[in-house]
Structure 1
């Protein structure tokens, strides 16, 4: 071991310089004014920048499907009604909407919750959606937000993308009667999709909400939000003459506000909203748990695979990224006229070129989130893991959170396509953790003897980025008096493909492996389940539904016979009195003591997240 210690010390020296209460939903409550008083950047109908240049931007020519010209209004209205003549008709505060009815649920696709963020509104906060008179056709999904996928996940990309993308989908159980208000409105589950803040869509088959809505008797809402440079570019500090970032988070707030104002029309209870998301979606949920102006918009939260240890950018880092982006467009970072004149495709191409340039194996945590929210000092004031540890969040809200057992595989094997030697792994760990690297390597190196050390790096990512900071945050939440539940999803699917679609996740419980079980969407997404896996899916689905109904994932809520028949195992609250038990979600789900508590004790003691 002496040779190893000398080598570790040498690497450390060589690389030590490497751096870096919901409001009521009635007409007397003006939530827009209320939220404006808390945060002036949300949903303002401010005037666009006055520019003397004719851009010819593609998105300016596209109009919302509810915005009819005088010559087409009648024709399009008749077409919408004929296409959905057996679907439900709902009157929202913005206008009438026609959906479709399937064997599982009523569905309303592509409802606009804000006006299109196009043209001179490209890098502006979301604006209230303009009302319409004709019946809006909500029988098909609208375009996803601008994104581009390359490599193994290209096949999963939405086929239709646009800057005009601020829409949401609503799924309601078949027994909802839209012609008369429900005496007992249903809980609402609002889903924020993941995708590293650069990809994903509310209409992805994996997130099909009709099954969850039907079996759990809830209203399910899936929302789109601006991604990548469109949602998070920072080019300066002056909001009138530059992009100031965090627009994607403001979009999510606007959608939540729309839900508060309209969901009762669809049979939902605006005072009983559960916000849930996975990966970047979970990160978004954690931010709303910290943002004061989001407090009245939801009651409780589910955090699936939140990458707690991936730091949000500082303003300095966000501006640095913005300058690199501008270089790729041949615009000056301070020239908003030039930046706004770019076509959506040019913005996307510059975003992707900027992202690829920043991929650095010695700072490979960066590759997990090149674009995304940053700490602006107003909307977002600190890192999520810090906020949880200091109690700077809505601690009165119940929280359910957890991870998969092998989160890091998809990331490490995505960055390193070839085997990583022991020496290379030492160099990477040293570059990332610097003065802590010797202790970390001493903890992990003896456990991995294979010549390829990618599995070791993947376990470090799993423990440091996901599992251990989640455990630390859950314990902090418990200490703050919050009702908290933890899980680990630990089931290796029998399907030879993986839920993520990435071949190197074969036979691993990768990041996102729980998603088809949560939504019961495996058949729609093209995956086969064994009878035992179907039972697991049923139980996971009902745990989430029970949490939405009662704030307890193991309660036997009476609203659905389906979930009463699942015989859900008892899921104890996460607390020291229960022995810090977590729910192991596998074919034989059961509560257990965390299997990696000793490792998380090690990371907690290091104090680096």
Structure 2
């Protein structure tokens, strides 16, 4: 049997070698596509797309009996700006655009749904964000506004935003209770700007999992969470000329506009514009990495936290983005060059076309595209290269402190979402060969002996963890520290003692999966599917101590500005990641401690392949 499947794979392996050497012909490509379809057809084209991400679970998206309401929930009618919720009074601040009234809760002062740009609707659908127009009267910031357009059906409906709209460029602000708004705020606090994940096609700043009120009050920081355009609304590329085409990367421009708004206005909320930390998880971490590369973002923040950055998932080239845009236009019956037709499409039609184009993997040798069909692309001006390339070559803002980490079981979610049935040795080898080409035999030699089960999904999950998340993060951190950057690394390694489900995941039991740290970081266990034990509550508080110390000082172990609780804890020292510390990182678990990496030999193996550059 072993000999049979090895012989069967010879055409694939030899073709992979030709690909790496540039000897591939169009006929070879057609034959290989046919071969892959025979072996594993569902990898090349699915009936439906998949959303990846802990905060949204794993979901197959289908149109429910053709209902347009199945694609998204209709937006609500906004309340009048001078109307306070239940007549309750809250703090009032005067921004450069007008007065805003928030609300006071037990844990923090909150200002929901503040516009940071004018609505990107009508002729402005695929245009850069415009400065927000000033308003008269008192703006009611006591309730969240609509999330950005996204598909919202199936098993994850309960976790989806209640309302979605193209008019979605808003942000939320959480301020500690001891900030006095009755007079000019003198002692300004550090600011933490959260960028949500969701594969660039889903998510919202107002998700209960990201409730910033406890985070803000505990860390004594001003927390800002931002919305940005998603999917085709945020990343469609239909041409090269911005006047007559959609040119993409609007979602990242939205984030930049929100950061600029923070610089102009955060002081009246008690925040210090010179002490802004941007942080995000998954696609949010990708966004953070891009702002560390984009020169025009440089003055908008001081330091960064990257949680579960999928370093090895490639951004699209302009060519690939244009190809996706053409396929999108075909689904709408518009010409890709007819911007008038595209602008006339309803939001429902755009979501339907987005869903259909998300179901395909256009290039059988780029299976990782399945993880991110829509998202930023390399346009050569705003975004100039892959994030991992920029970090390894030093093309990022190295003067800024960075806190960078992963979870111990990142790949479980991805592997079990892509492969919904057991995967044989043959199928796993096909998949590995399609991605890694000439490196296939060495990778198989390293991983196959460690996995004896007939189902090879656990092996693929570990490869994803190592190749996409852990090892490129380690290598980037080492290159950065060599260049003089200050970097701290962590691994969230907490494993539940029972069979609780992490915030909606249906199979990720007893694993520190992708996004598993979020309920601990935001102390949002009360709005997720489990309650923290006393030991887990202590872990949550300690994580907040580290994140808060980093926001205040740029060093997660600093005792300066720590709360009494954090000082009393005598937290384990989190050493800066460097060769002088023995490349120690922080293992975040119930008994957190600094240690040498647990998979150093595996990351050494990936580094030797020179596969990231």
Partner of 1:174: 177
Match for 2:111 among 85, 108, 111? 108
8 Å contact 1:558–1:564 — kept in the other structure?
no
The one-character-per-residue Cα deviations of 1:223-245 (angstroms, maximum 9, x if unpaired) are 00000000000000110110000
Q: Distance in 1 between matches of 2:454 and 2:75?
A: 55
Match for 1:223 among 223, 226, 236? 226
Partner of 1:30: none
The one-character-per-residue Cα deviations of 1:152-182 (angstroms, maximum 9, x if unpaired) are 4343211210000000000000000112233
- Residues 463-472 or 361-370, more deviating: 361-370
Is structure 2 residue 432 aligned with structure 1 residue 429?
A: yes
Partner of 1:293: 296
Distance 1:183 1:497, change over 3 A: same
- Residues 531-540 or 351-360, more deviating: 351-360
Is structure 2 residue 379 aligned with structure 1 residue 376?
A: yes
8 Å contact 1:557–1:564 — kept in the other structure?
no
8 Å contact 1:148–1:348 — kept in the other structure?
yes
Q: Distance in 1 between matches of 2:558 and 2:100?
A: 35
8 Å contact 1:11–1:426 — kept in the other structure?
no
Q: Distance in 1 between matches of 2:121 and 2:262?
A: 23
**Alignment gaps of 5+ in structure 1:** 21-58, 67-75
Partner of 1:52: none
Is structure 2 residue 326 aligned with structure 1 residue 328?
A: no
Partner of 1:26: none
8 Å contact 1:84–1:99 — kept in the other structure?
no
Partner of 1:349: 352
C-alpha RMSD of the superposition: 2.1
Partner of 1:557: 560
Q: Distance in 1 between matches of 2:76 and 2:495?
A: 45
Deviation of 1:374 after TM superposition, in Å, equals 0.4
Distance 1:588 1:356, change over 3 A: same
- Residues 518-527 or 459-468, more deviating: 518-527
Is structure 2 residue 590 aligned with structure 1 residue 587?
A: yes
Q: Distance in 2 between matches of 1:344 and 1:498?
A: 34
Q: Distance in 2 between matches of 1:359 and 1:10?
A: 21
Q: Distance in 1 between matches of 2:154 and 2:204?
A: 18
Is structure 2 residue 216 aligned with structure 1 residue 213?
A: yes
Is structure 2 residue 460 aligned with structure 1 residue 486?
A: no
Q: Secondary structure at the match of 1:220?
A: strand
Distance 1:470 1:361, change over 3 A: same
Is structure 2 residue 505 aligned with structure 1 residue 502?
A: yes
Deviation of 1:519 after TM superposition, in Å, equals 1.0
8 Å contact 2:332–2:353 — kept in the other structure?
yes
Partner of 2:164: 161
Q: Distance in 2 between matches of 1:274 and 1:438?
A: 42
**Superposition pairs for residues 233-382 of structure 1, below 5 Å?**
233-358=236-361, 363-382=366-385
Deviation of 1:149 after TM superposition, in Å, equals 3.7
The one-character-per-residue Cα deviations of 1:383-427 (angstroms, maximum 9, x if unpaired) are 111111111110000000000001011011001110001111111
Q: Structure 1 length normalisation: TM-score?
A: 0.89
Deviation of 1:277 after TM superposition, in Å, equals 0.3
The one-character-per-residue Cα deviations of 1:340-381 (angstroms, maximum 9, x if unpaired) are 000111111110111012378864311110000000111100
Q: Distance in 1 between matches of 2:465 and 2:406?
A: 9
Deviation of 1:554 after TM superposition, in Å, equals 1.3
The one-character-per-residue Cα deviations of 1:550-584 (angstroms, maximum 9, x if unpaired) are 11111123352233233221000000000000100
Q: Secondary structure at the match of 1:94?
A: coil
8 Å contact 2:113–2:171 — kept in the other structure?
yes
Partner of 1:12: 13
8 Å contact 2:502–2:529 — kept in the other structure?
no
Distance 1:492 1:362, change over 3 A: farther
8 Å contact 1:495–1:527 — kept in the other structure?
no
Deviation of 1:17 after TM superposition, in Å, equals 5.9
- Residues 1-10 or 558-567, more deviating: 1-10
Q: Distance in 2 between matches of 1:83 and 1:558?
A: 37
Partner of 1:79: 83
Q: Distance in 1 between matches of 2:506 and 2:518?
A: 17
Q: Secondary structure at the match of 2:248?
A: coil
Match for 1:530 among 533, 536, 541? 533
8 Å contact 2:503–2:529 — kept in the other structure?
no
**Superposition pairs for residues 456-467 of structure 1, below 5 Å?**
456-467=459-470
The one-character-per-residue Cα deviations of 1:264-308 (angstroms, maximum 9, x if unpaired) are 000000000000000000000000000000000000000000000
Is structure 2 residue 556 aligned with structure 1 residue 515?
A: no
Deviation of 1:438 after TM superposition, in Å, equals 0.6
Partner of 1:474: 477
Deviation of 1:521 after TM superposition, in Å, equals 1.2
The one-character-per-residue Cα deviations of 1:175-233 (angstroms, maximum 9, x if unpaired) are 00112233321000000000000000000111000010010000000000000000000
8 Å contact 2:545–2:562 — kept in the other structure?
no
Distance 1:360 1:529, change over 3 A: farther
Q: Secondary structure at the match of 2:111?
A: strand
Q: Distance in 2 between matches of 1:8 and 1:302?
A: 42
Q: Secondary structure at the match of 1:237?
A: coil
- Residues 293-302 or 146-155, more deviating: 146-155
Q: Distance in 1 between matches of 2:192 and 2:99?
A: 23
Partner of 2:125: 122
Q: Distance in 2 between matches of 1:527 and 1:361?
A: 39
Is structure 2 residue 418 aligned with structure 1 residue 449?
A: no
**Alignment gaps of 5+ in structure 2:** 30-71
8 Å contact 1:260–1:297 — kept in the other structure?
yes
8 Å contact 1:497–1:503 — kept in the other structure?
no
Distance 1:6 1:290, change over 3 A: same
Q: Distance in 2 between matches of 1:16 and 1:491?
A: 40
**Superposition pairs for residues 569-608 of structure 1, below 5 Å?**
569-608=572-611
- Residues 428-437 or 143-152, more deviating: 143-152
